[in-house]
């Protein structure tokens, strides 16, 4: 069901998108990551599966299957390098649509947040059905300024970390200044997602100064 599959995925937004679970406690994570495939269909396709089928047509690899895991026949071993990967295939199709895997994933981070009680009616068609992602930490104005802090849970490759800034009590004549510095050599995308009940979310890109 949605709560089990997507819920496990949303519980750990900091994990890598293609993470292989180490035990069954998080075994539903790869199934819940289909939320990303749904995003691609809704954002770049027609929600009819045709876009995903097009992506799969970019995944054939030259080689042979040498064996299949007896305990889990979904796992196969081959005599070839895993190229192109599914991510490569997604990137190839998105390039024909004027986008890229990195740009799409950054936008997905916004869609992934605007679900459940935070759905704004402008992203997932069924956004209100999906459980929200875990918020790494939250800050009120009484804890400002916030400097030189790092995520408590390390963010994996194509993972996401959400921090809540509650402006309640902030002088309306003042503004929040937000700066993000990522760890080299990785590429970081950061956005400030401003929400207000009943209104479409406003997304502001933050320049990575790392």
Per residue in 12-55, pLDDT tens? Answer: 999 999 988 777 778 889 899 999 999 999 999 999 999 999 99
**b (16+ CB within 10 A) / e for 9-18:** bbbbbbbebe
Is the pLDDT at 4 greater than 90? The verdict is: no
For 142-184, write each residue's pLDDT tens digit: 888 888 888 888 898 899 999 998 888 888 888 888 888 877 7
DSSP 87-156: HHHHHHHHHTTT--HHHHHHHHHHHHHS-GGG--SSS-TTGGGSPPPPP-EEEEGGG----S---SS---
- Residue 79 pLDDT level (bands cut at 50, 70, 90): very high
pTM: 0.89
Beta bridge partners of 193: 203
Can you tell me the mean pLDDT for 107-111?
96
Number of H helices, E strands in the chain: 6, 6
Q: Which residues lie below 8 Å from residue 77, measured CB to CB, with a gap of 6+?
A: 65, 66, 67, 68, 69
Most confident option among 35-39, 118-122, 169-173, 191-195: 35-39
Closest alpha carbon to 12 in 190, 139, 152, 150: 152
Q: Which residues lie below 8 Å from residue 21, measured CB to CB, with a gap of 6+?
A: 27, 29, 30
CA distance 186 to 102: 12
């Amino acid at each position: 069901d949605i709560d089990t599959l997507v819920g496990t995925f949303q519980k750990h937004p900091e994990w890598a998108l293609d993470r292989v679970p180490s035990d069954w406690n998080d075994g539903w994570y790869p199934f819940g990551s289909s939320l990303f495939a749904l995003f691609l269909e809704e954002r770049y396709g027609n929600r009819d599966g045709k876009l995903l089928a097009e992506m799969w047509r970019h995944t054939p690899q030259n080689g042979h299957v040498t064996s299949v895991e007896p305990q889990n026949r979904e796992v196969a071993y081959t005599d070839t390098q895993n190229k192109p990967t599914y991510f490569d295939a997604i990137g190839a199709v998105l390039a024909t649509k004027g986008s890229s895997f990195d740009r799409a994933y950054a936008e997905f981070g916004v869609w992934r947040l605007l679900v459940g009680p935070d759905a704004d009616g402008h992203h997932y068609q069924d956004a209100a059905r999906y459980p929200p992602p875990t918020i790494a930490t939250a800050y009120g104005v009484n804890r400002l300024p916030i400097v030189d802090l790092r995520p408590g849970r390390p963010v994996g490759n194509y993972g996401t970390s959400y921090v809540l800034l509650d402006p309640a009590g902030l002088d309306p004549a003042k503004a929040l200044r937000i700066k993000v510095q990522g760890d080299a050599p990785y590429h970081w995308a950061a956005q400030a997602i401003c929400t207000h009940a009943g209104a479409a979310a406003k997304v502001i890109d933050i320049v990575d100064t790392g």
